[in-house]
Amino acid sequence: MDINMKLIEGGVCAAKGFKANGIHCGIRKNRTKKDLSLILSELPASAAAVYTTNLVKGAPIEVTKKHISNGYARAIICNSGNANTCNADGIEIAEKMSECAAVALGISSDDIVIASTGVIGQPLDLTPISAGIPSLAEGLSENGSAAAAEGIMTTDTVKKEIALEFSIGGRLCRIGGIAKGSGMIHPNMATMLVFITTDVSISPAMLQKALSSDIADTFNMISIDGDTSTNDMVAVLANGMAGNSEIVSEGSDFEAFMEALNTVNIHLCRMIAGDGEGATKLLECRATGAKDIKTAKAVAKSVICSSLVKAAMFGSDANWGRVLCAIGYSGADVDVRKIGVSFKSSKGLITVCENGAGIPFSEEKAKEILLEKEIEILISLGQGNYCSTAWGCDLTYDYVKINGDYRT
């Protein structure tokens, strides 16, 4: 499908009718770190979201579920530095945070998606948030995506944003997103915090269908450390200002939107995986030749989750036996005698295993390939035509350092 898709600037402000901002309000002690972000749609927008499956959930998730139960929203507000999770007054704080934003924006508090990220189990003081919201709202700008992206960061080392321009039914459309995520990432729904905006006209039901469908092949295929967060959320607002005919059913327009959404999500997945806590390398595992998609996903995810594979990649060690080991305990029904493994980077490609057994290869060449910042682990299963991709990072000394004193 040719939808004339191209990368553009603007992040969550690229689509018509969206503004954003991010400030330091005082939740975090470091005044150079922004800790409160806001995104606003000029018009009511179709809203969809997916959430963590962890039984322990942040209070903002419960509030957001209620707020967008009618399928619509106008704004997203998010703080960093405190997850507002496992707090006796968490729901009350989340609701009051929404109410403060609603007053500053002149909208209903029920039209606000709310999110929090940071330390779990620490009381969240509303005082700096309520004091900061007026200036946060006043500073909303069509150039505010970068500030909003910074405001949701915790241990992230880089802000994560993307925007695309594409066409639906002859109308120019835009979609953009920002994300945060560096640690406690092993999702089973979505991952971390991701906020996406688009000016496409699409019904709430079809927007939810698109998002729920896409995360199975994107955000659910990331793993940094095997820990599923309590506050994971991916939310999408679509305000219809592109002027296309509203998408209310499947068809070519829905497929075009799905292609654009998938492109945005994969880009953010790669940024999140590459910015894993302490990471030095982005790992991409592609499992091909599977007999069904379930098998392909299980294999790719198991390899990307393996601590031993991740450690080997940190050391640029072509220890392919660890890859086979991870496949073996994945639960996938595979024929080990047909498995092939290769490693690839900008320095070239090297095959290290064929038919489930090692083959002669140059350790020097393998080391050169694995010293690069982006590594592909290529697995051939030789049993069918299905494939899947998962993303992760290497496991380094710094991961332990970061998480050893994260709270203090």
Annotated catalytic residues are: 191
Measured distance CA(372)–CA(249) in Å, rounded: 44
C-alpha distances in Å from residue 265, one per residue of 31, 176, 194, 273:
31, 10, 9, 12
Q: State residue 78 phi and psi, 5-degree precision.
A: -145, 135
Angle between helices 293-305 and 307-314 (to 10 degrees): 60
Q: Give SS3 for 137.
A: helix
Helix (H) / strand (E) element for 343: namely strand 340-345
Nearest to 234 by CA among 195, 260, 183: 195
Half-sphere exposure of 91 toward its Cβ, with a 13 Å CA cutoff? 7
Nearest to 265 by CA among 194, 159, 188: 194
Nearest to 232 by CA among 219, 221, 250, 241: 219
Q: How many CB atoms lie within 10 A of CB 323?
A: 26
Nearest to 271 by CA among 144, 392, 402, 150: 392
Burial class (CB in 10 A: 0-12, 13-18, 19+), 405: exposed
Q: Give SS3 for 231.
A: coil
**Residue in this structure with the two tokens 């970061």, named with its chain if needed:** 402
**Residue in this structure with the two tokens 């409160």, named with its chain if needed:** 36
Q: State residue 318 phi and psi, 5-degree precision.
A: -75, 55
Q: Are 300 and 327 in contact (CB under 8 A)?
A: no
